[in-house]
Amino acid sequence: MERVRVFLMADREDTTYDVFETDMGWVAIVGGDHGIVRASLPEVSPASALDAVQPEIGTAVHAPEQHVDSRFLITAFCAGEPVDLADIPIDTRKVSPFFRKAWEACRSIPSGETRSYRWLAEQAGNARAARGAGQAMARNKLALLVPCHRVVSSSGDLHGFGGAGLPLKSRLLAMESGR
Protein backbone atom coordinates (compact mmCIF):
# COMPACT_ATOMS: atom_id res chain seq x y z
CA MET A 1 0.00 0.00 0.00
CA GLU A 2 2.81 2.41 0.86
CA ARG A 3 4.43 1.86 -2.55
CA VAL A 4 1.16 2.82 -4.31
CA ARG A 5 0.88 6.01 -2.26
CA VAL A 6 4.48 6.99 -3.03
CA PHE A 7 3.88 6.37 -6.75
CA LEU A 8 0.73 8.49 -6.75
CA MET A 9 2.50 11.33 -4.95
CA ALA A 10 5.39 11.18 -7.43
CA ASP A 11 2.97 11.09 -10.38
CA ARG A 12 1.01 14.12 -9.16
CA GLU A 13 2.00 17.41 -10.74
CA ASP A 14 1.37 20.71 -9.01
CA THR A 15 -0.99 22.83 -11.04
CA THR A 16 -2.01 26.43 -10.74
CA TYR A 17 -4.85 28.43 -12.23
CA ASP A 18 -5.97 31.90 -13.09
CA VAL A 19 -9.36 33.32 -14.01
CA PHE A 20 -9.57 36.73 -15.65
CA GLU A 21 -11.87 38.99 -17.60
CA THR A 22 -11.37 39.69 -21.31
CA ASP A 23 -13.35 41.75 -23.81
CA MET A 24 -15.19 38.55 -24.78
CA GLY A 25 -15.88 37.27 -21.25
CA TRP A 26 -14.19 35.45 -18.38
CA VAL A 27 -11.47 32.90 -19.17
CA ALA A 28 -9.97 30.32 -16.81
CA ILE A 29 -6.70 28.45 -17.40
CA VAL A 30 -5.04 25.62 -15.49
CA GLY A 31 -1.40 24.68 -16.03
CA GLY A 32 1.78 23.25 -14.66
CA ASP A 33 5.46 23.00 -15.49
CA HIS A 34 4.74 21.51 -18.93
CA GLY A 35 2.19 24.10 -20.06
CA ILE A 36 -1.54 24.74 -19.93
CA VAL A 37 -3.64 21.58 -19.44
CA ARG A 38 -7.09 23.14 -19.64
CA ALA A 39 -8.58 26.46 -20.77
CA SER A 40 -12.13 27.70 -20.98
CA LEU A 41 -13.79 29.58 -23.76
CA PRO A 42 -14.90 33.09 -22.77
CA GLU A 43 -17.76 32.71 -20.27
CA VAL A 44 -20.30 35.08 -18.71
CA SER A 45 -18.86 34.89 -15.18
CA PRO A 46 -15.76 33.81 -13.27
CA ALA A 47 -17.75 30.92 -11.77
CA SER A 48 -18.82 29.56 -15.18
CA ALA A 49 -15.23 29.89 -16.49
CA LEU A 50 -13.97 27.93 -13.48
CA ASP A 51 -16.69 25.29 -13.99
CA ALA A 52 -15.47 24.88 -17.58
CA VAL A 53 -12.01 23.80 -16.42
CA GLN A 54 -13.20 20.85 -14.33
CA PRO A 55 -11.84 18.47 -13.17
CA GLU A 56 -8.30 19.82 -13.64
CA ILE A 57 -8.91 22.77 -11.36
CA GLY A 58 -9.80 20.45 -8.47
CA THR A 59 -6.28 20.31 -7.06
CA ALA A 60 -4.91 23.51 -8.61
CA VAL A 61 -3.82 26.50 -6.55
CA HIS A 62 -4.87 30.03 -7.53
CA ALA A 63 -1.59 31.61 -8.64
CA PRO A 64 -2.16 34.37 -11.22
CA GLU A 65 1.54 35.26 -11.14
CA GLN A 66 2.31 31.89 -12.78
CA HIS A 67 0.15 32.78 -15.80
CA VAL A 68 1.03 36.40 -16.55
CA ASP A 69 2.24 35.74 -20.12
CA SER A 70 -0.72 33.50 -21.00
CA ARG A 71 -3.16 35.98 -19.49
CA PHE A 72 -1.60 38.84 -21.48
CA LEU A 73 -1.79 36.96 -24.80
CA ILE A 74 -5.33 35.63 -24.27
CA THR A 75 -6.58 39.06 -23.19
CA ALA A 76 -4.98 40.68 -26.25
CA PHE A 77 -6.46 37.99 -28.53
CA CYS A 78 -9.95 38.53 -27.10
CA ALA A 79 -9.54 42.27 -27.68
CA GLY A 80 -8.98 41.56 -31.37
CA GLU A 81 -5.24 42.13 -31.38
CA PRO A 82 -3.14 40.03 -33.80
CA VAL A 83 -1.37 37.78 -31.30
CA ASP A 84 -0.38 34.15 -31.77
CA LEU A 85 -1.75 31.96 -29.01
CA ALA A 86 0.49 29.14 -30.28
CA ASP A 87 3.19 30.93 -28.28
CA ILE A 88 1.50 29.63 -25.12
CA PRO A 89 2.88 26.19 -24.22
CA ILE A 90 0.30 23.43 -23.82
CA ASP A 91 0.68 20.10 -22.06
CA THR A 92 -0.52 17.21 -24.23
CA ARG A 93 1.23 14.37 -22.40
CA LYS A 94 -2.08 12.72 -21.44
CA VAL A 95 -3.57 12.91 -24.94
CA SER A 96 -3.57 10.13 -27.54
CA PRO A 97 -0.97 10.44 -30.32
CA PHE A 98 -3.69 11.09 -32.95
CA PHE A 99 -5.30 13.84 -30.85
CA ARG A 100 -1.87 15.37 -30.14
CA LYS A 101 -1.07 15.51 -33.87
CA ALA A 102 -4.53 16.91 -34.66
CA TRP A 103 -4.16 19.60 -31.99
CA GLU A 104 -0.67 20.49 -33.25
CA ALA A 105 -2.01 20.76 -36.81
CA CYS A 106 -4.89 22.90 -35.60
CA ARG A 107 -2.45 25.24 -33.85
CA SER A 108 -0.65 25.66 -37.19
CA ILE A 109 -3.73 27.07 -38.98
CA PRO A 110 -3.05 30.77 -39.52
CA SER A 111 -5.34 33.26 -37.82
CA GLY A 112 -8.19 34.30 -40.08
CA GLU A 113 -8.03 31.08 -42.11
CA THR A 114 -9.92 27.80 -41.87
CA ARG A 115 -9.18 24.18 -42.71
CA SER A 116 -11.43 21.15 -43.06
CA TYR A 117 -11.71 18.17 -40.75
CA ARG A 118 -10.32 16.11 -43.64
CA TRP A 119 -7.22 18.34 -43.82
CA LEU A 120 -6.81 17.99 -40.07
CA ALA A 121 -7.03 14.19 -40.32
CA GLU A 122 -4.40 14.17 -43.08
CA GLN A 123 -2.08 16.30 -40.94
CA ALA A 124 -2.62 13.94 -38.01
CA GLY A 125 -1.54 11.00 -40.14
CA ASN A 126 -4.80 9.35 -41.22
CA ALA A 127 -6.53 10.91 -44.22
CA ARG A 128 -9.61 8.69 -43.70
CA ALA A 129 -10.13 9.82 -40.08
CA ALA A 130 -12.10 13.04 -40.58
CA ARG A 131 -14.58 11.91 -37.92
CA GLY A 132 -11.66 11.22 -35.58
CA ALA A 133 -10.35 14.71 -36.27
CA GLY A 134 -13.81 15.99 -35.39
CA GLN A 135 -13.64 14.11 -32.11
CA ALA A 136 -10.20 15.60 -31.42
CA MET A 137 -11.74 19.06 -31.79
CA ALA A 138 -14.87 18.15 -29.79
CA ARG A 139 -12.69 16.92 -26.91
CA ASN A 140 -10.32 19.87 -27.10
CA LYS A 141 -9.64 20.91 -23.48
CA LEU A 142 -7.57 23.88 -24.59
CA ALA A 143 -10.11 26.24 -26.11
CA LEU A 144 -8.58 29.20 -27.97
CA LEU A 145 -5.07 27.73 -27.51
CA VAL A 146 -5.99 24.90 -29.90
CA PRO A 147 -8.15 27.08 -32.17
CA CYS A 148 -10.78 24.55 -33.16
CA HIS A 149 -12.97 27.43 -34.32
CA ARG A 150 -10.73 27.43 -37.44
CA VAL A 151 -11.83 23.90 -38.39
CA VAL A 152 -14.92 23.65 -40.60
CA SER A 153 -16.61 21.07 -42.79
CA SER A 154 -15.28 20.46 -46.29
CA SER A 155 -18.22 22.52 -47.61
CA GLY A 156 -17.15 25.43 -45.41
CA ASP A 157 -20.11 25.06 -43.04
CA LEU A 158 -19.59 25.66 -39.34
CA HIS A 159 -20.18 22.76 -36.96
CA GLY A 160 -20.32 22.39 -33.16
CA PHE A 161 -18.27 24.53 -30.82
CA GLY A 162 -18.48 23.70 -27.14
CA GLY A 163 -21.06 25.19 -24.84
CA ALA A 164 -20.82 28.58 -26.54
CA GLY A 165 -21.92 27.13 -29.84
CA LEU A 166 -21.76 28.43 -33.36
CA PRO A 167 -22.32 32.13 -32.54
CA LEU A 168 -18.97 32.29 -30.72
CA LYS A 169 -17.23 30.26 -33.44
CA SER A 170 -18.59 32.65 -36.06
CA ARG A 171 -17.61 35.68 -33.94
CA LEU A 172 -14.03 34.42 -33.51
CA LEU A 173 -13.65 33.75 -37.24
CA ALA A 174 -15.07 37.17 -38.14
CA MET A 175 -12.76 38.86 -35.61
CA GLU A 176 -9.70 37.10 -37.00
CA SER A 177 -10.53 37.70 -40.65
CA GLY A 178 -11.28 41.38 -40.00
CA ARG A 179 -7.87 42.18 -38.52
Q: Which of the 8 DSSP states describes residue 141? A: S
Q: Are strands 151-152 and 115-116 parallel, antiparallel or unpaired?
A: parallel
Q: Are 43 and 53 in contact (CB under 8 A)?
A: no
What's the rounded Cα separation, in Å, for the pair 159 and 154?
11
CA 159 – CA 133 distance, rounded (Å): 13
Query: Could you give the CA distance from residue 58 to residue 49 in angstroms, rounded to a whole number?
Result: 14
DSSP for 159-177 reads ---TTTHHHHHHHHHHHHH
Query: Which of 57, 52, 32, 31 minimizes the C-alpha distance to 41?
Result: 52
- Distance, in Å, from the CA atom of 19 to the CA atom of 27, rounded to the nearest integer, reads 6
Q: Which active-site residues does the annotation give?
A: 148
With a CB cutoff of 8 Å and minimum separation 6, the contacts of 47 are: none
